[in-house]
Amino acid sequence: MIDFLIEFYPWLKAGHIISVISWMAGIFYLPRLFVHHSEKVATGSETDGLFVMMESKLLKVIMTPAMIATWGFGVSMALIPGVINWGAIWPWVKLFSIISMTVFHFWLVGRQKEFEQSRNVLKGQTYRIMNEVPTVLLLVIVIMVVVRPF
């Protein structure tokens, strides 16, 4: 199994980068949809139904498959001996940040279900603030992987 992973490492890395980009595009866009949905759309209106459909498809068709692929490619690369020095601090900071991004993803899933059930109670300002969470996590993740400061 390890030989297979080593042989296909460049493909694993390419798949990981592609899936990360897809996941991040959605994770940046969905809270913005929530801002407009909560501020500008009347519950039960035709536009409400349109937003619910867009948010649901973004999560189910793009974000969740991309998140699963990101984890799959990432774990596959991490299993290759010598790719990650687990004695250093940077991979642990990165892992904590990835887990935090995944928790944020599932927080978004919960908010989408609230919109779908006409139970959203959060204001647009909350979604604006929460939209900064993945930005901070992305900065930490990229710096840990590229700069490896610890």
pLDDT value, residue 1 = 73
Question: Does residue 66 have a pLDDT over 90?
Answer: yes
Check: pTM over 0.85? Answer yes or no: yes
Closest CA to 112 of 2, 22, 33: 33
Q: What is the domain count for the chain? A: 1
Rounded to an integer, the average pLDDT of 97-118 is 98
Domain of 64 in residue numbering reads as 2-146
Mean of pLDDT over the chain: 96
Distance CA 25, CA 7 (A): 29
Q: Note the pLDDT tens digit of each residue in 19-51.
A: 999 999 999 999 999 999 999 999 999 999 999
